Chains A and B, each alone.
Chain A
C-alpha cells in the first residue's frame, strides 16, 4: 500500500521548520523507527521517524527547505507498523543505581502561595488587557484562565471567524475572476485546510499574548479559579495547587452562548457558534436560529462554502438594531447568494428525523412552518458566566435584571476591592468594550480616575458586504425626537469602489441640525469596518460638519465617500446628489 509521509508534529507551538540532515534517499528500504531526516525549528531538533516498513518511493524535500505542519514530504510503498518498539539503551545507570521504574501522570501537584496586588479571573480581551495595564502601574499581577489566553474573542469568536471570512473572500474573488478579465478553473477547497489555517492564526495570536504576559512579568496560571474567601482564590491543576491572596480582584470571566429554551434545545446535535468554527465537513444545509451579528456572519461563510443556509430571526428584520436601508443591502446580498431569510419568525422546536436530519418548526404570521436541514445552529446572544465564581462569598451583587454583575463607572462592584469587566457585566458584549473596561478598572487600581463612557462604541459586522457603525442610528435619532439631518453617499459613485468592483453599499451620517455635530454613522460596503474609526474620530473631536468637510481625503480611496457623505448633509455632494 502507498502512504503519504506527512509532517504531523513539530516542536512546541512551531508551525514550520527547516529540513536539516537527510539520512535516507529515494529507493532506500525503510524500517519503522528509522530516522528519515532531522527537522530544526527554533533551535530545537526533532527526528522525523518512519511509522512504516517499505521502500521510500519519493522524497520531495531537500536539505534547507522550509516545511510546514501537515505538509506531505514523500511517498512510501509498504506497510504501516502499529507500535514502534522503544528500545531502551541497556547500559547501566550512573553509580549502579537500580534501573528506574516507570510511572505516568501521578505526580503530586506542588503547593504554591501567591500574594499579589491584582488577581484577574479570565484571560480574554478584558482580562489580559487589564493585566498589562495594571502591570504598567508596577502592580504585581496574576491572571487565571481555564481555557486559553485570548478568551472567546480570540479562540472562539472574532478572530477565527475573520480567518474564515478571509478564506471565503479569496474563494469568492476567484469565482468572480471573469469579471476582472481573468480565467480561472473551477476552484476547489478543503474545509479541513481552511480550519487549519484558522487555527494557525489563532495559535500565533495566543502565543503572542503568552509572550506579552511574560514581558510584563505577569504570573499566568491555567486552571479554574475558586473562591476561598473574599480575599483569597485557589486554583488547582495537574502541576500546582495555588493559593492566591489578592489586594484587588478583577472578574473577567466572560459569557457563553445562550440557548433559547424550546423543544429540542437540549439536542446534542444543536450547534453553537463555537461548534461552527470546528466543523470538518460543509453541511449540505444549515439552519441558523438567530439573525444577529454572529448568525449572519456564519450564514455568509457557510453559504459561500456551498451550504444551503436558512436564517430564522425573531425580530422583524435581521441585524435588528441597524437602520432599514443598511439591512436592505445585507438582505438583498444574502438573498442573491441563496440564503433564505425568515424574518419575524420565531423558532419553536427542533426535532430529529430518523436519518438525523433536523426539522425546525417556526411560527411566521401565526402559521406553523417547517424547515428541513442537515444541521441546525443557534446564535441568539450570549449570557454572562455568573456561575464562574462564588459571587456571594465575594460579596459581589448582580445588576437589577440579574443578568450581569453590577458595576459603577470605574467598573467597581458592590465590593470596592473587586472589579468586574467585559461580558460578565452584560453592559455591551463586545471585545473592545471589555478591553476598554479593563483599562478603566486597572487605571482605577493604579490611582487614575477615568470613567467608562459608552457614547461612542463602534461595532463591526463581517457580512458580505461588511458593516461598520458608531453612535446613533437614524432609528435612534427618530425615537429620541432629535432634530437631525442625514447625509448619504453610495459607493457606486466612488472611483476606488468601482475599480475594485465592489459597489454595493453607502456611507450614512446623522448630524444634529442645530449644533451641526455628527451624532452617528453607518458604513455598509467594502472597507466599512476599517473606515468607521474615521467617523468615531470626527465625533470624538466634536467637529462640526463644516470643520469635518475641510479635511482632505486621499484620492483614490473608499474613504473619500466619508467626505462626500459630510458634504451631502447639506446637499452639497460633489460626485452624487
Chain B
C-alpha cells in the first residue's frame, strides 16, 4: 500500500489543544501515514517530559503575565513559544521515520527564503552558529514523533525573562535545560512570515516525498480531544509529574531569618523542615507537621500558614514568600 502523506494545520493557539493533537496522531495514525503537523502557541512555556517547572522557569513571572505552562511528552529542556514561533511535528512509524529526512524537509523549506541552515547532528538546526530550531522526540512502540520549534519573530526578551533559572536552591534529578544562542529567521530574511513559511514547508514536504499531501485543518470544533485535553489542563500533569526534587526557600525578614526545606515526590510534600531564628513564638513545628503529605502547591501551603501562624506580620511575609516562589 502506498504511503499516505498528510499535513495537519492547527487553527488553535492553545498549547493544550496542540499537544493533544500530537498525542492523538501518535495513537491513531495509520501505519503507512507520514504526517506533518504545523502549529503555534500563544505565550507558553513548554517544559520537557522529565523536567521540574519550579527549576526551569520564573513561575511568578508566568503568573503575572498570564503565560501558560505545559509539560510535553518529549524529552529535552524548557522552551518559550509565542506567535512569532512556528512548531512542526513529524509523526510516523519506525519504517518511514528518519530524523535526518525530517530535518531536510525543514531546511529545504527555509532555503526558499535564501536561508541555508544545517543540522548540527544532535538536536538543533543552526545558521551562523546560532540555533533557530530546537527539536525533541517521542517513541511509543513503533510510533515516532519528532517535533521542533522555528524561531521566526519571537520576543527574545520575554524568552530570557521567563526562562531565567529560578533563584531557589533546588535540587532535582530530572533533565536540565541548556541555554543556547538563538536567532530569529526574520533577522536573516525580512520577507519571511509565519504564513509564507507554512506554505514553504508544505511545498518542501511535498517535493521531498514527491507527493501531493492531503491538507487538514484542525480546531477545537473539528476534533474532539477531551480525553487528552484534560491531562494537559491538569496541575498534576504539568507540575507534579516531575522527578523527585528538593527545594529550599529562604528569606531574611524584619523578625528574623526563615528557611523552609521541602522534599517533593509526585507533587506531594514528603518532608518539610523549617529553620528560623525568629524570637516571636510561633508554632513552626506544627506548620512542618501540617505540610507533610500536602500538595506542593501555593494554595495548600498558604492554608497551612494561615492555620498555624498567628502573628499578622509573619503571616503576611510568609504568604508573599510562598506566592512569589510557588505561585
Which A residues fall within an 8 A CB radius of B? 11-12, 18-22, 38, 40-47, 62-65, 86, 88-89, 91-95, 100-108, 110-111, 211, 214-215
Contacts and interface: CB of A to CB of B under 8 A. Distances in A.
Interface in B131-168: 135-141
B173 interface: yes
A94 B222 contact: yes
6 contacts: A20-B75, A45-B74, A63-B244, A91-B225, A108-B2, A215-B121
A402 B99 CA distance: 44
B233 interface: no
**Binding site of B, secondary structure by majority: helix, strand, loop or mixed?**
loop
B66 interface: no
Interface stretch (B27-35, B184-192, B313-321): B27-35
B119 interface: yes
Contact of B138 (A45, A92, A107, A111): A45
B137 A107 contact: no
A78 B286 CA distance: 44
A20 B175 CA distance: 8
Given A44-B74, A91-B227, A107-B95, A21 B50 contact: yes
A21 B73 CA distance: 11
Nearest to A86: B141
Contacts of A89: 24, 27-28, 227
B241 interface: yes
Contact of B96 (A46, A62, A107): A107
A38 B2 CA distance: 34
Given A95-B222, A103-B32, A11 B27 contact: no
B127 to A, nearest CB: 15
Interface of B: 1-4, 8, 24, 27-33, 48-50, 73-76, 95-96, 99-100, 118-119, 121-123, 135-141, 172-175, 209-210, 216, 218, 222-225, 227, 241-244
Nearest to A63: B243
Contacts of B139: 11, 44-46
B27 A88 contact: yes
A214 B119 contact: yes
B174 A20 contact: yes
B175 A40 contact: yes
Contact of B8 (A20, A42, A94, A111): A94
Q: Which residue of A22, A40, A45, A101 has the most chain B CB atoms within 10 A of its CB atom?
A: A45
A45 B75 contact: yes
The 6 closest A-B pairs by CB, nearest first: A64-B173, A20-B50, A100-B30, A44-B137, A103-B1, A63-B243
A399 B114 CA distance: 50
A46 B95 CA distance: 17
Given A62-B173, A104-B31, A110-B209, A211 B2 contact: no
A42 B244 contact: no
A405 B318 CA distance: 84
A107 B32 contact: yes
Contacts of A12: 99
B75 A40 contact: yes
A65 B175 CA distance: 11
Given A21-B50, A89-B27, A91-B224, A64 B174 contact: yes
A521 to B, nearest CB: 41
B1 A45 contact: no
Given A94-B223, A107-B96, A214-B119, A18 B175 contact: yes
Given A20-B49, A110-B209, A101 B30 contact: yes
Contacts of B76: 40, 43
B60 to A, nearest CB: 25
Contact of A45 (B3, B29, B50, B244): B50
Given A43-B75, A91-B224, A215-B121, A21 B28 contact: no
B75 A211 contact: no
Nearest to B33: A100
A20 B243 contact: yes
B137 A42 contact: yes
Contacts of B49: 20-21, 38, 40, 45
A140 to B, nearest CB: 15
Given A11-B139, A18-B50, A110-B209, A103 B24 contact: no
Nearest to B243: A63
A138 to B, nearest CB: 15
A62 B173 CA distance: 9
Contacts of A92: 223-224
Contacts of B241: 21
Contacts of A86: 141
Contacts of A38: 49-50
Q: Which residue of A43, A46, A102 has the most chain B CB atoms within 10 A of its CB atom?
A: A43
Given A42-B122, A46-B139, 13 more contacts: A11-B137, A20-B243, A21-B174, A86-B141, A91-B24, A91-B28, A91-B224, A92-B223, A100-B29, A103-B1, A107-B32, A108-B3, A215-B121
A141 B209 CA distance: 22
Nearest to B74: A45
A316 B137 CA distance: 60
A98 B233 CA distance: 29
Contacts of B227: 89, 91
B70 to A, nearest CB: 15
A22 B2 contact: no
Q: Which residue of B74, B173, B244 has the most chain A CB atoms within 10 A of its CB atom?
A: B173
A44 B138 contact: yes
Contacts of B74: 43-45
Nearest to A89: B27
A107 B121 contact: no
A528 B119 CA distance: 41
A104 B1 CA distance: 7
Contacts of A95: 216, 222-223
Contacts of A106: 1
B50 A40 contact: yes
Contacts of A47: 140
Contacts of B8: 94
B218 to A, nearest CB: 6
Contacts of B224: 91-92
Contacts of A94: 8, 216, 218, 222-223
Q: Which residue of A21, A105, A214 has the most chain B CB atoms within 10 A of its CB atom?
A: A21
Contacts of B119: 214
A573 B150 CA distance: 69
B140 A44 contact: no
A221 to B, nearest CB: 13
Contacts of B218: 94
B250 to A, nearest CB: 24
Contacts of B30: 100-103
B33 to A, nearest CB: 7
A47 B139 CA distance: 8
